[in-house]
Chains A and B, each alone.
Chain A
Amino acid sequence: MCLAIPGRLESVEPADPFPTGTADFGGIRKQVCLVFVPEAAIGDYVLVHVGFAIGVIDEAEALRTLAVLRAMGDVVETELAGGVS
Chain B
Amino acid sequence: MKYLDEYRDPALARRLLAELGAVATRPWRLMEVCGGQTHTLVRQGIDELLPAGIRMIHGPGCPVCVTPVAVIDRALELAATPDVVFTSFGDMLRVPGTSTSLLQVKAAGGDVRVVYSPADAVRIAAAEPRRRVVFLAVGFETTAPANAAAVLLAESLGLTNFSMLVSHVLVPPAITAILEDPECLVDGFLAAGHVCSVMGYTEYEPIAARYRVPLVVTGFEPLDLLEGILMAVHQLESGRHEVENQYARAVHRDGNQVAQEAIRRVFRVADKEWRGIGSIPDSGLVLADGYERFDAALWFPSGPRSPESASECIAGQILTGVKTPTDCPAYGTRCTPRHPLGAPMVSSEGTCAAFFSAGRTAAAPSPALNAATS
Contacts and interface: CB of A to CB of B under 8 A. Distances in A.
Given A2-B192, A35-B258, A83-B91, A71 B117 contact: no
B184 to A, nearest CB: 23
Interface in A44-59: 47, 49-52, 54-55, 57-58
A57 B142 CA distance: 16
Interface string B39-61: 11001100000000000000001
Secondary structure type dominating chain B contacts: helix
B138 A84 contact: yes
B14 to A, nearest CB: 17
Given A51-B146, A64-B1, A37 B258 contact: yes
A60 interface: yes
Count class of interface residues, chain B: 35 or more
B35 interface: yes
Contacts of A78: 348
B355 interface: no
B338 interface: no
Given A37-B258, A50-B116, A85 B142 contact: no
B63 A68 contact: no
B149 A71 contact: no
Count class of interface residues, chain A: 35 or more
A54 B119 contact: no
A3 B140 CA distance: 11
Contacts of A82: 89-90, 114-116
A51 B197 contact: no
A1 interface: yes
B221 A68 contact: yes
Interface of A: 1-4, 17-18, 33, 35-38, 47, 49-52, 54-55, 57-58, 60-61, 63-65, 67-69, 71-73, 75, 78, 80-85
